[in-house]
Structures are given as structure tokens and as C-alpha cells.
Amino acid sequence: MAGTVPTSASDHHDELVTSISNRLRQLSETSFNCRLLTVLDKLRKNHKEAFLPKQISIGPFYHHGKRWKAMEDHKWRYLQSFLARTQKKLQECVEVLKKLEKRTCLCYLEKIDLNNDEFITMVLVDGAFVIELFLLNHFPEKKAVNDVIFDKKKEWMIMDVRRDMSLMENQLQFFVLENLYNFAFGSQLTVLPSLLELAYDFFISRVNLKAEGARIFDTDVNHLLDALRSWYLPATQDAQGDGWKNVEAIPRPSHLRAAGVKFRISESNCLFDIKFSVGVLYIPCLELFPVTESFLRNITAFKQSYYKHDSYSIEYVAFLENLINTRADAKLLIKKCIIDVENWLGHDGTLAKDAEALANLFNSFGKENRFWTRNINFCSLRQDLKAYYRSHWH
């Protein structure tokens, strides 16, 4: 081409090597688990609302959504109170986040429709909101009288916010939150709880969350949903097999009962601690709330995208999907108090309505997922139940 300076082959080679090296360096700066992915289309298809925030958008995926603009001013009020509480200058907080900007941006595989200033503003407002929310929950005496999130006349609001904070696509990386929190309250960290402690305190009222102290505070997590995943895990992890196996179906509860199997509530605090011993199936009580379906769908989607080696949540959902095949199955587990539906549907439903809704919920998981497992204990549990059922002695 006329008017251009010829480029030698060696110069072009060097540029290509540099370009590839830069791309590889970017990949090495953040792990895959730290990336924030969107929900798989096959999981979103029939249950879109389960993955959408109701009140609060956190992070870039829903930042421009009109349906969440009503709470944007409230997030800015939280930023104002956060800055007043920390006594740090706004400029200093912005500088902290700017130092993390490149690392933060690398955690998003999707293209973010924000320029640099808009991105930093979003991270600051959302990050300060999360931290201030946790602090106000932990120190209720500091709440404003007219705070709509903690309004006792609108208890559904705080439930919606808790739900929104545990959505897969509604997250900020935890290292961003933690860096902002540690900078803002560095001189007070000896007397303040850690950010993970505040987060656990905020989420503890949700379904069946009773983790042990050591695991709460010594957890390396990528974001809040990842923290919830970790807190639900048993204290002692089960052994994992060498390869993945298709989850085997087990007989229905009515058939198991006919074979002599008794259903009992387990005293364990861990939902995944299901045991079968001497003809008795021990299952921890699952207390259902209006947010339970959304949480189960998000934690399942999260596991399938990030933690394929850790199949506890998927195994648990698959096990309940096997047990709750029909309304009769659901009725049995409700009557045995293994599943508590008292706070679930938001109305005084009859046993028949509750059982039908429960059966429909878990049947939908089975239709939309193909369950695989490496968990040796869950495999043994299924095999033991099937062997007991097939024995003529029983």
C-alpha cells in the first residue's frame, strides 16, 4: 500500500507474540471460578423470574434495567451514609476501586455496557450499598426511621433483598467488597466483625442455614452466592469417585414404606446429611419459604457452571426430585415434617394444594436437568435403598 512503511517479518512476528502473551497474562490474572457468568439458557427458559432481581440490582448485568430504578436513589443514600460512617473521602474510595478496576473487569466474560467512569461509579454505589446493608442489619440501632428496606410494616422487602443478593447474576466479586470494607474501616477492624461475619449474619435467617463457626470465617469465596454455597456444605466432605455417574432413580416413598422403610427427621443441621440405617431414612427438615425455589434454581445453576466437581446441591435436589414424584409422595414428607411448608406459599393452603405445588416444583427440576454425581456416599445411599426395597425379607 502506498504511503506506508514496510514492516519486516520479524517485527510482525514480535507483535504477534506480544499480543498472544498479553492475552495469556490476562487469563492468568483471574481464575475461572472468579468469573461472573450468566445463567445457562436451558435453565432460564421456563423460570426466568427465578433469576431476576425483585428489588435491587447489584453489578453490571441488570444495571440499566428500568424495573430496578426505583431503588437506585436508596442505594445512593446508603453510599452517603457509608461515607459518613467511614470518614474516608470519596476520592480515596474511588482510588481504591480504580486500582482494582482491571482485575474486576477481567472477571466478566460478558461485554459490560459501561465506560470506565460509569463502571467505577456502579462498583462504588453497589459495593457501599452491600456493606452498609450488612452493617445496618448487624447494628439495628443505626437504622434510619424511614429506611424502606428495614420497614417492619413491609417485612417482605428485606426478604426480597436477601433473595436478590443471592442471585447468580446479581453479584460483585467478594475481593472488591472486602477491599472497600477493609479500607473504609481499617482502624476499626479490631472491634468490627469481618465482612464474612456480617454477610453470614445477614443471611442466617434464610432457609436452613446453620454453618459451623470455623467454616464461616475462614472461607475463600468469590462472591456472596459462593459464600452461601460454602456455608451449606457439610463440615466433613464425602469422598468423590473417579468418574461421573448418572444419578440412579430410587423407589417412591410409598413403595419404600411398603418395603418397611421408615422416614424420620434427622437432627443434623446440614441439609445434605441424609442417612439410611437399619431400615430408617433420616432426612434433615427442609423449611420452605417463598424464596426457596429461586435459591435452589440459582445455586443449581451456579454449581453447574462453576463447581462441577462439587455435586452436593445438585445431588440433594436430585434426591428430593426422586422422592417427591407425586402428590402422595409430597403429602407423606409433609406429614412426617421432613418438609415444612408453613411459610412457603404465603397463604393457608390445604395439604392437597401444598402437596401438589411441592410435587410440581421438584418435578420441574427433573425435567430440566440431567443429574450426574461423583459423590460416593450419595451413590451408596441410593444403592442401599434399592437393595432394601428389593429384599423379600423386608
SS3 of 280-327: EEEEECEECCCCHHHHHHHHHHHHHHCCCCCCHHHHHHHHHHHHCCCH
Query: Based on the structure, what is the number of domains in the chain?
Result: 2
Res 16: pLDDT: 78
Residue 175: count of CB within 10 angstroms of its CB? 18
Residue 12 forms part of a structural domain:
no
261 with 385: CB under 8 angstroms? yes
Residues of the chain with pLDDT under 50: 1-5, 28-29
Both 282 and 220 in one domain: the answer is no
Residue 11 forms part of a structural domain:
no
If DSSP codes are grouped into helix, strand and coil, which group holds residue 120? helix
Both 371 and 226 in one domain: the answer is no
Both 162 and 310 in one domain: the answer is no
Res 158: pLDDT: 93
* Strand-pair category, 275-277 with 262-266: unpaired
Both 195 and 245 in one domain: the answer is no
Res 198: pLDDT: 95
**Domain's final residue, options 203, 232, 261:** 232
Grid cell 462439587 — which residue?
A: 310
Helix, strand, coil shares, percent, the chain, to 5: 55, 10, 35
Distance CA 195, CA 311 (A): 27
Both 196 and 297 in one domain: the answer is no
Exposure pattern of 18-36 as b/e (b: 16+ CB <10 Å)? eeeeeeeeeeeebeeebbb
Res 238: pLDDT: 58
**Domain's final residue, options 189, 213, 232:** 232
Between the alpha carbon of residue 269 and those of residues 4, 171, 232, the distances in Å are 72, 27, 9
Both 60 and 144 in one domain: the answer is yes
Residue 129 forms part of a structural domain:
yes
Residue 89 forms part of a structural domain:
yes
Query: Is the whole-model pTM more than 0.95?
Result: no
**Domain's final residue, options 232, 267, 293:** 232
Task: Give the chain's mean pLDDT.
Answer: 84
C-alpha cell read off for 45: 427458559
Both 76 and 206 in one domain: the answer is yes
282 with 266: CB under 8 angstroms? yes
Both 251 and 213 in one domain: the answer is no
23 with 13: CB under 8 angstroms? no
Res 1: pLDDT: 44
Residue 9 forms part of a structural domain:
no
C-alpha cell read off for 209: 442455614
Both 344 and 220 in one domain: the answer is no
Grid cell 467478594 — which residue?
A: 174
Residue 13 forms part of a structural domain:
no
Element containing residue 104 per DSSP (H, E): helix 101-105
Q: Per-residue pLDDT tens for 248-281?
A: 778 888 889 989 999 999 988 888 889 999 999 9
Distance CA 282, CA 267 (A): 8
Both 65 and 155 in one domain: the answer is yes
Res 15: pLDDT: 78
- Sequence-ordered list of residues with C-beta below 8 angstroms from that of 185, at least 6 positions apart, any chain: 86, 192
119 with 60: CB under 8 angstroms? yes
Both 45 and 88 in one domain: the answer is yes
Domain span at 276: 240-390
Distance CA 248, CA 371 (A): 9
Distance CA 336, CA 334 (A): 5
Distance CA 185, CA 132 (A): 12
Distance CA 10, CA 217 (A): 53
Res 2: pLDDT: 45
C-alpha cell read off for 223: 462472591
- Sequence-ordered list of residues with C-beta below 8 angstroms from that of 283, at least 6 positions apart, any chain: 263, 264, 265, 266, 274, 333, 338
Residue 314 forms part of a structural domain:
yes
166 with 53: CB under 8 angstroms? no
Distance CA 384, CA 112 (A): 50
Both 106 and 216 in one domain: the answer is yes
What pairs with residue 246 in β-bridges?
A: 372
Residue 17 forms part of a structural domain:
no
Res 22: pLDDT: 67
If DSSP codes are grouped into helix, strand and coil, which group holds residue 36? strand
C-alpha cell read off for 368: 430440566
CA neighbor of 105 nearest in space, from 113, 39, 19: 113
